[in-house]
Amino acid sequence: MTVTYLKQAARRPAAENNDIRDIVRIMLANIERDGEAGVRGYAEKLDGWTGEIVLSDSERRAACDRVPEALKADIRFAHDNIRRFAEAQMATIQECEVEVIPGLIAGQKQIPVSSAGCYVPGGRYSHIASALMTITTAKVAGVPHIAAVSPPRPGGIPDAIIYAMDLSGANLILNLGGVQGIAAMAQGLFGARPADILVGPGNAYVAEAKRMLFGPVGIDMFAGPTDSLVIADHSASVETVTWDLVSQAEHGADSPVWLVSTDRALAEGVMARADALIANLPEPNASAARVAWAERAEIILCDTREEAVAVSDRYAPEHLQVQAEDLDWWLDSLSAYGSLFLGKETTVPFGDKTSGPNHVLPTGGAARYTGGLSVHKFTKTVTWQRCNAAASRELAERTARISRMEGMEGHARAAELRLKGA
């Protein structure tokens, strides 16, 4: 068995983000010192925003009223699908109770975090779907306070994003982007509650701010540029496969796309077709996709489908699409991906926007060990226990002996107090 690269990206050294880290570290320190004044200063300097930070109820209603009814219907459709899927996930999270030994009862509870901060990107594109994905999922998980931020444009946050935030259940909306938006939610500024967890995609500065704040504050994941892989065999269409790859390359010049195929004719057809499809995109999409395709795309030819699985699992893509026969076999065989899209009738953009499963997913190979955003990220599985006198006596005797073997005399004595009924 062999793996042949018909197109291979140059291997890049590990990214050096020292400049970004230094900038973010300074910004976070300044905001911690200066509070809301520091946030306002960065909002004006970086986004040119001098208006109100907190979106008032009247401004929220006015923005929602300005959204065309047809677009509202589309957003509601997506919201309903995302909510239904999150509710189905929530139904799988159960509390339990078991008598471990006679008289010792232990259990687990599911408790939502008290507050969540949701970041909604708003740079090159208006990420309506990110508002739906993050806020709706937190709401279904039972989070009582949800703050949301998004970079303000000259007139503030786009109306459609505000509508999506409002529909999803955001308690507080702030006209903030970048590091300052993340810091405001983490610190609980402008009426927000200090966030227990920060979620949502963003640029390198947003990702670095989340990384630096992680510990005292939870985060969904360490995220880098989005990536996508398509597995295709002889049954796939060159046009469909190429568009699926090109559509993901438009995310940005650093977004890798990969094709793994067991059919040389299809693989070569995709190589020949990509430039023409990219040229059909508007700017700046075409420029971003052109660089991503030239510098980050790979086309890999495999002899067998088993080999294709091994290659895909090694890449562990954020998005994995299979356009091949025997879809159930692929579902059973693949094991490392953020989200899986099976068959020519589905496509990653469905998952990005409307179909329901969350689009906040692990990037850069992290799908080897973690999944994407879900209701589980907003809930804590905690344990409890209690025991009667008989169980307490047996536990005390065994705990004391183990503790002394470990050299932990205080533990042994605390256990032995229970032998005296203390």
Write the pLDDT tens digit of every residue in 137-158: 999 999 999 999 999 998 899 9
- pLDDT, tens digit (0-9, with 9 covering 90-100), for 197-210: 999 999 999 999 99
pLDDT of residue 2: 84
Tokens standing for residue 294: 């030239």
- Going across the sheet that includes 228-232, the strands are 3-7, 298-302, 257-261, 228-232, 319-323, 339-342
Architecture of domain 18-219: 3-Layer(aba) Sandwich (3.40)
Q: Does an H or E element contain 180, and which? A: helix 178-187
Q: What phi-psi label fits residue 259: left (phi over 0), alpha (psi between -120 and 50 degrees) or beta?
A: beta
Task: Collect all residues with Cβ–Cβ distance below 8 Å to 151 and sequence separation of at least 6.
Answer: 47, 121, 122, 123, 157, 176, 177, 178, 181
Q: What is the pLDDT of residues 366-416, one digit of tens each?
A: 999 999 999 999 999 999 999 999 999 999 999 999 999 999 999 999 999
Residue found by looking up tokens 């990110």 in the block: 130
The predicted model gives 32-57 an average pLDDT of: 97
Distance CA 169, CA 163 (A): 10
Residue 126: predicted pLDDT: 78
Catalytic residue among 79, 208, 318, 359: 318
What Å distances lie between residue 409 and 84, 90, 391, 414, 416, CA to CA? 53, 43, 21, 9, 11
Compute the distance between CA of residue 271 and CA of residue 297 in angstroms, rounded to an integer. 10
Where do the CATH 3.40.50.1980 domains begin and end in the chain?
18-219, 225-371
> Based on C-alpha coordinates, what's the Rg of the chain?
25
pLDDT value for 223: 85
Confidence of residue 300 (pLDDT cuts 50, 70, 90): very high
Cross-strand pairs, 198? 117, 219
Catalytic residue among 319, 345, 376, 406: 319
Burial state string for 73-101 with b = 16 or more CB within 10 A and e = fewer than 16:
eebeebbebbbebbeebbeeeeeeeeeee
319 has catalytic annotation: yes
Picking from 289, 212, 305, the residue whose alpha carbon sits closest to that of residue 249 is 289
Residue that is written with structure tokens 């500024």 in the block: 189
pLDDT of residue 422: 56
Burial 342-353 (b: 16+ CB within 10 A, else e): bebebbbbebbb
Average pLDDT, the chain: 95
Least confident of 9-23, 48-62, 318-332, 353-367: 9-23
Confidence of residue 274 (pLDDT cuts 50, 70, 90): very high
Backbone angles phi, psi at 380, to 5 degrees: -110, 130
Instruction: Please state, in angstroms and rounded to a whole number, the distance separating the CA atoms of residues 303 and 211.
Output: 40
- 147 burial class (0-12, 13-18, 19+ CB within 10 angstroms)? buried
Above pLDDT 90, what percent of the chain?
93
Q: Please state which CATH number belongs to domain 225-371.
A: 3.40.50.1980
CB contact at 8 A, 347 and 198: no
Residue 75 has pLDDT above 60, yes or no: yes
Continuous H helices in 6-68: 18-34, 36-47, 57-66
Distance CA 199, CA 397 (A): 46
Pairing of strands 96-101, 104-112: antiparallel
For the chain, the straight-line distance linking the first and the last C-alpha, in angstroms and rounded, comes to: 70
Element (H, E) at 90: helix 69-91
Dist CA 54 CA 30 (whole Å) = 21
